[in-house]
Structure 1
Amino acid sequence: MTTRTLAPGAGAAIGRRPVPWSRLAWVTLRQRRGLLIGGGALLGVFAVYMVVMAVIQHNAYAVVAACHPAAALKCQQLNNSFYRSYWGGGAGPVIAGGGAQTVSSLLFAIPVLLGAFAGAPLLARELESGTFRFAWTQGAARTRWALSTLVLPALLLVAATGAFTGIFYWYFWPFLADNQVSEMLPLAFALLGVAFAAWTLLAYSLAAFLGTLFRRTLPAMAVTLVGYVVLAMATALAIRPHYATPVTVRGWNNTSAWIMSQWVKAPDGQVLSQSAVNSLSQHAPPSVQNSSSPDAFTTWLTQHGYTLWQSVQPDSRFWQFQLTEGAWLLVVSSLLIAATVWLVRRRGA
């Protein structure tokens, strides 16, 4: 009969209770504080700029809104001056380098930057260096370790980007107030509502999944960037327009909508090709061709029996589209996080 002996401390290890979730959350925050501080600083810089500019823009727009009647030449000049100064960023003394259009374009990069830099190193760095084994010997099994590492930063990212969206809406409001810019346009849609936070969560989940799959941080970040750009473009061009059937409206002056397409019908009802419309514009009277009014040609077409049509997604569908996009992005992100946990369980050793 042989006697089996245990190494010193083995019995204690066998009976050790799992580390509480609160302790795992504290460790996660400590380990990722650099990423959290960096992401907060990136959002903070833009947030401070937008708060300052929002105050300036709201005051400037109040002068435009107080001018009556709105069709008067003086009011039109005020409105044009407001857009030149704060939208395009060309003439305003308070704009350095660009207006709201430029700022909105720059903000498109924030979700993928936050997601790639926050998500890719989470597990990839641990798997790459082998330090994940130490975590598992401290009472944190694979699943608990992966979930605690993934979920808490995801919640913080969603909360931070959700609050950031509120600041952006306040900053962007003057351009939406008079329907000169539609909130359905890709320029604004992905930065408003729930879309901004949802896209950030997707980038984060994709980066975390790829980091676990490759076990390398830099390749995961590179593939995340490419994959995100492809998916974002495909969504804006091919997926989002089909959330609901477009509405057909008569006329080309519907600015409070996302215009899908537009066409001209001849007096006999035939749809004109683009080359035919261009030929008409070349044969229009000199008074029309040389007019400074952007509506001179369309007005001339209407006067001669031509009808103008547009296929649009109206602004009234904004929240329907936001919730639709947010829902499928949340589902995809959840699947990516679940797949990441599965990879840790399967390949962690």
Structure 2
Amino acid sequence: MTALAPSPAASETRTAPGAGWLLRLHRPALYIWIGVVAVLALGLVWLWGPLTDSSVAAWRQYREACDDFRSTCHYDQDSIVRYKSVYMYTTGALTALPFVVAAWAGAALFGRELEHGTAQLAWTQGLSPVRWLATKLIVPTVLVTAGTGLLVALHRLMWSAGDGRIDTAKTWYDNLTLHTNGPTTVAFALTGLAGGALGGVLLRRTLPALTFALTGVAATRFLADQLMPHLWPGVTRVTSLADGYRGSGLGVDSGLVTATGAHIADPGCGPTSASPGCATVYADLDATGFYTTYHPESHYWPLQLTTTTLVLAVAAALAVAAFVLLRRSTATPTRVGAEAAV
């Protein structure tokens, strides 16, 4: 009686490693990631509660004791400085997180394994190249999304607790705060991960793949900053030549309004209330007022969601490109061998 040989599919299912293999292989990076997220989360919770409360109390003391320009006034300056310092460090670290993810993905997760042949060895052990890449992307995607998403949520809660209560609190449209308060930071991190995958598959060397991923995140963030104000209709406010510009929020455009309603560049003379000589300049330009196009705080989530969608589309395109390139590069030797045999 002849025993039935196991099918290739069953053999691959039995022998191919899964997510557990990836977590074991990159266990140090996993521990470091958990540690970084935990430390930043603790810092943000500290800001959200005790540091915000003490800073609010210190600013209340300042307004009560120092607003009348007394020669001496006493308030808890250390609490104000401490809040500002911890805010700066935690916000800066959260801003840098997508770049850290990109560097790790390009160097350790993809570039080094392809350069040293570890990936190629895995492909001979029942793990196809496509499944190798899919596992390498899916597991870190879950971990990066969960960790970065938690930090972004805590940052938003922390910032909201001090908004309007702390005189030196950052505005919602401050560049670093704008992103660390919303999902664009998560999207930047996923772009770094996908960029590392493409860089590793394309260049197959550690340092070039790292550079490729970092450059991709930096370029994506720069383009997102440039495009964000234009992804949602802004609000335009027109003011008199004496009043100057008015409107607080994320700026889009500004200049002069002519008698015909046209928008022209501002020569930079200033409002006529401060510089009476500017009236002649504006008369020559047929200007009747200033205009300011900006986004108020009510536009925050539309801007965040549209920008996040755009950045995630970039991340998806990078990931798809990595799959296509890997499939082509690993299929070529098979086709060539088959043609030679014929």
TM-score scaled by length of structure 2: 0.74
Counterpart of 1:150, as a letter, is L
Q: State the alpha-carbon separation in 1 of the partners of residues 121 and 213 from structure 2.
A: 28
Identify the match of residue 31 of structure 2 among 11, 34, 37.
37
1:325 aligns with 2:307: yes
Q: State the alpha-carbon separation in 1 of the partners of residues 192 and 122 from structure 2.
A: 26
Q: State the alpha-carbon separation in 1 of the partners of residues 56 and 174 from structure 2.
A: 24
Identify the match of residue 232 of structure 2 among 235, 244, 266.
244
- Deviation, 1:162, is 0.5
Structure 1 contact 117–221 (Cα < 8 Å) conserved: yes
SS of the residue corresponding to residue 332 of structure 1 reads helix
Deviations 1:187-230 (A, max 9, x none): 22211221111110011111111111100121111122223223
What residue in structure 2 maps to residue 189 of structure 1?
178
What residue in structure 2 maps to residue 123 of structure 1?
110
1:218 aligns with 2:207: yes
What residue in structure 2 maps to residue 258 of structure 1?
250
TM-score scaled by length of structure 1: 0.72
What residue in structure 1 maps to residue 337 of structure 2?
none
Q: State the alpha-carbon separation in 1 of the partners of residues 122 and 172 from structure 2.
A: 47
Which shows bigger deviation, 202-211 or 120-129? 120-129
Q: CA RMSD in A?
A: 3.9
Q: 1:341 to 1:185 in 2, by over 3 A?
A: same
What are the ranges of 5 or more consecutive residues in structure 2 without an aligned counterpart?
Answer: 69-74, 240-244, 278-287, 334-342
Identify the match of residue 47 of structure 2 among 36, 50, 53.
53
Q: State the alpha-carbon separation in 2 of the partners of residues 139 and 225 from structure 1.
A: 32
Question: What does residue range 121-160 of structure 1 map to in structure 2 within 5 Å?
Answer: 121-160=108-147
- Deviation, 1:53, is 2.3
Q: 1:310 to 1:14 in 2, by over 3 A?
A: closer
Q: 1:110 to 1:217 in 2, by over 3 A?
A: same
What are the ranges of 5 or more consecutive residues in structure 1 without an aligned counterpart?
Answer: 1-10, 79-84, 285-305
Counterpart of 2:234, as a letter, is P
Counterpart of 1:59, as a letter, is D
Deviations 1:37-96 (A, max 9, x none): 2222223322222222222233136548989xxxx9639959xxxxxx99xxx9646629
Q: 1:145 to 1:223 in 2, by over 3 A?
A: closer
- Deviation, 1:260, is 2.5
1:340 aligns with 2:330: no
How many residues are paired up?
Answer: 303
Question: What does residue range 71-110 of structure 1 map to in structure 2 within 5 Å?
Answer: 74=64, 77=67, 92=79, 95=82, 98=85, 100-101=87-88, 103-110=90-97
Deviations 1:249-284 (A, max 9, x none): 2465543x2123444679999978343218974679
Structure 2 contact 236–294 (Cα < 8 Å) conserved: yes
Structure 1 contact 19–138 (Cα < 8 Å) conserved: no
SS of the residue corresponding to residue 311 of structure 1 reads strand
Q: State the alpha-carbon separation in 1 of the partners of residues 174 and 80 from structure 2.
A: 27
What residue in structure 2 maps to residue 273 of structure 1?
266
Structure 1 contact 214–220 (Cα < 8 Å) conserved: yes
- Deviation, 1:324, is 1.1
Q: 1:15 to 1:274 in 2, by over 3 A?
A: closer
- Deviation, 1:245, is 2.4
Structure 2 contact 91–176 (Cα < 8 Å) conserved: yes
Q: State the alpha-carbon separation in 1 of the partners of residues 192 and 60 from structure 2.
A: 43
- Deviation, 1:175, is 4.1
Structure 2 contact 106–209 (Cα < 8 Å) conserved: no
What residue in structure 2 maps to residue 199 of structure 1?
188
Q: State the alpha-carbon separation in 2 of the partners of residues 328 and 19 from structure 1.
A: 36
Q: State the alpha-carbon separation in 2 of the partners of residues 96 and 187 from structure 1.
A: 16
Counterpart of 2:136, as a letter, is T
Q: State the alpha-carbon separation in 1 of the partners of residues 16 and 299 from structure 2.
A: 41
